[in-house]
């Protein structure tokens, strides 16, 4: 299974234990026979598929803003199953496993001329050979309901490769939040994410703010998505989310995001996407320019709201990958 991950994303595996070795070691460690492991995998995939269908077809009621990665913002913000750079610290901490490198991303988001309404800094360092590393991020967000409110979230992430070869990531999160006419509030919470290969697809799951701390800007969410890569030129991503705000204590709200990227060469990439929820129904697009074989790049994205009261948004980000 680990080798399948690395065939899909093109990462190096020379120093890793092979997939068969991992499965054998896992069976010995947790006392599973091969048949038990097979049924365990089938059950996991069936559960993920059922959850994905429920998310996508739940009535669309709410939304949440994202402060990380203009590239992913150009793809509709469907980032839970896209672990290719440092923004995985925000979208899915299990993605650290796929980044056998140091990676940095700095993003600014604008809804008007002036200072950025959103910003984010993501950093990670991970060594696949030693299965060791961590990610760090600081993000500033505003509320889709109250522009004068803001929150700053600080994240510290790590990842564990399970005996059956599935990476599971954990994020510790501190939120500092200010709402108009209220005292500043502080929350401690966390995220839990995972990646599972499914044929030529990669399934990503991230439980954000698992303790549902009551933030009115950063909601608790179950994000479930799937991505597909066709060679080095085309990437597609679909994401559905259950969303829970402070006043809603169950996961009965949903949104979905769809995105695609076309990369005709290592120096340029074009993104497009669509987002739908009860408040907004909008389109996204983006452009990325890269140097040094794609390791460094500047990306820009635009969110176009053809109707409603929301302002169009513009994102710009710089990323650097150090092998």
Between 297 and 5, where is the model more confident? Answer: 297
> What mean pLDDT value characterizes the chain?
80
- Overall number of domains in the chain: 1
C-alpha pair distances (Å), 131 with each of 94, 95, 293: 12, 13, 26
pLDDT of residue 154: 98
pLDDT of residue 243: 77
127 alpha carbon, distance to own chain's centre: 20
C-alpha pair distances (Å), 281 with each of 85, 141, 221, 255, 307: 27, 20, 19, 10, 8
pLDDT at 124 over 70: yes
pLDDT at 12 over 50: no
What six digits make up the tokens of 178?
């200010």
Task: Give the tens place of pLDDT for each residue, 248-280.
Answer: 454 456 788 999 999 999 899 999 999 987 777
Phi, psi of 99 (to 5 degrees): -105, 90
C-alpha pair distances (Å), 257 with each of 34, 106, 225, 312: 37, 22, 9, 17
pLDDT at 126 over 90: yes
pLDDT of residue 56: 41
Q: Which domain holds residue 24?
A: 2-322
Task: Give the tens place of pLDDT for each residue, 21-65.
Answer: 333 434 443 443 344 444 444 555 555 544 444 444 433 334 457
Listed in sequence order, the DSSP H helices in the chain are 2-9, 19-30, 34-57, 70-74, 88-91
What six digits make up the tokens of 226?
């799937």
Task: Give the tens place of pLDDT for each residue, 96-118.
Answer: 999 999 999 999 999 877 778 89
Query: What CATH number does the domain containing 311 carry?
Result: 2.40.160.60
Judge contact between 220 and 240, C-beta under 8 A: no
What is the band of 11 on the pLDDT scale with cuts at 50, 70, 90? very low
**% pLDDT > 90, the chain:** 51
Instruction: Name the one residue in this structure whose structure tokens are 């092979």.
Output: 18
Q: Among candidates 194, 138, 165, which has minimal Cα distance to 17?
A: 165
pLDDT at 73 over 90: yes
Taking residue 113's Cβ as centre, other Cβ atoms within 10 Å add up to 6
Average pLDDT on 298-316 reads: 85
pLDDT of residue 234: 96
């Amino acid at each position: 299974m680990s080798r399948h991950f690395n065939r899909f994303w093109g990462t190096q595996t020379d120093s890793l234990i092979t997939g068969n070795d991992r499965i054998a070691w896992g069976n010995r460690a947790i006392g599973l026979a091969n048949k038990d492991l097979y049924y365990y995998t089938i059950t996991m995939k069936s559960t993920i598929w059922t959850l994905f269908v429920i998310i996508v077809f739940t009535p669309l009621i709410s939304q949440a803003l994202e402060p990380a990665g203009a590239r992913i913002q150009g793809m509709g913000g469907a980032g839970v199953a896209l672990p290719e750079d440092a923004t995985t610290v925000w979208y899915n901490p299990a993605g650290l496993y796929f980044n056998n490198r140091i990676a940095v991303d700095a993003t600014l988001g604008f809804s008007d001329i002036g200072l950025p309404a959103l910003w984010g800094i993501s950093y990670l360092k991970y060594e696949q050979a030693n299965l060791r590393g961590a990610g760090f991020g600081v993000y500033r967000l505003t509320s889709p309901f109250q522009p004068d409110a803001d929150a700053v979230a600080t994240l510290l992430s790590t990842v564990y490769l399970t005996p059956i070869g599935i990476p599971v990531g954990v994020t510790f999160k501190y939120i500092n939040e200010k709402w108009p006419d209220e005292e500043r509030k502080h929350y401690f919470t966390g995220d839990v994410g995972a990646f599972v290969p499914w044929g030529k697809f990669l399934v990503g799951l991230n439980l954000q703010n698992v303790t549902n701390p009551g933030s009115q800007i950063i909601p608790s969410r179950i994000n479930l998505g799937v991505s597909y890569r066709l060679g080095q030129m085309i990437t597609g991503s679909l994401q559905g989310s259950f969303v829970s705000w402070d006043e809603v204590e169950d996961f009965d709200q949903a949104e979905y995001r769809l995105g695609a990227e076309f990369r005709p060469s290592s120096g340029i990439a074009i993104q497009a996407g669509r987002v739908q929820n009860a408040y907004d129904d909008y389109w996204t697009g983006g452009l990325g320019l890269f140097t040094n074989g794609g390791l460094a790049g500047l990306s820009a994205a635009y969110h176009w709201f053809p109707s409603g009261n929301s302002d169009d948004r513009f994102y710009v980000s710089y990323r650097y990958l150090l092998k």
